[in-house]
Structure formats: structure tokens, C-alpha cells
Amino acid sequence: MIKYECEPCGYIYDPAVGDPDAGIDPETAFEDIPDDWTCPICGLGKDVFVPVED
């Protein structure tokens, strides 16, 4: 699965890990995260995330 980076703060969403603190289970694709999810570091929305290559 593709990882996504929050451009403003650099947080990387890794689907293999998910975001357990926000109730996002491991193996959850970025596209399957609810639209109201926000970056756990800076609080911005999904629209500021861009795909990154490993």
C-alpha cells in the first residue's frame, strides 16, 4: 500500500500501521479513512496529504 505524507508537517500515514489512536486499524488504505480524519500531528485534513514512494 502507498504511504501518504502530510505536506505541512511531514507526518507519514503508513497503512500497515494505521492510526490506532484515532480508531484507524492497521491495513487501512488511505482512501478508506473517513473524510473527517485529521493529521494526528498538525490537525489538518486529508486534502493536504500526498502519496510518497518508499
Question: So where are the chain's domains?
Answer: 1-53
DSSP secondary structure of the chain: --EEEETTT--EE-TTT-BGGGTB-TT--GGGS-TT-B-TTT--BGGGEEEE--
Task: Give 6-30 pLDDT, tens digit per residue.
Answer: 999 999 999 999 999 999 999 999 9
**How high is the mean pLDDT of the chain?**
97
Tell me the binding residues for Fe cation: 6, 9, 39, 42
> Topology of 1-53 in CATH?
Rubrerythrin, domain 2 (2.20.28)
Q: pTM of the predicted model, to two decimals?
A: 0.93
Percent of the chain with pLDDT over 70: 98
Asked if residue 1 has pLDDT above 90, the reply is no
Q: Where is the binding site, in residues?
A: 6, 9, 39, 42
Q: What is the pLDDT of residue 11?
A: 98
Q: Is the pLDDT of residue 3 over 90?
A: yes
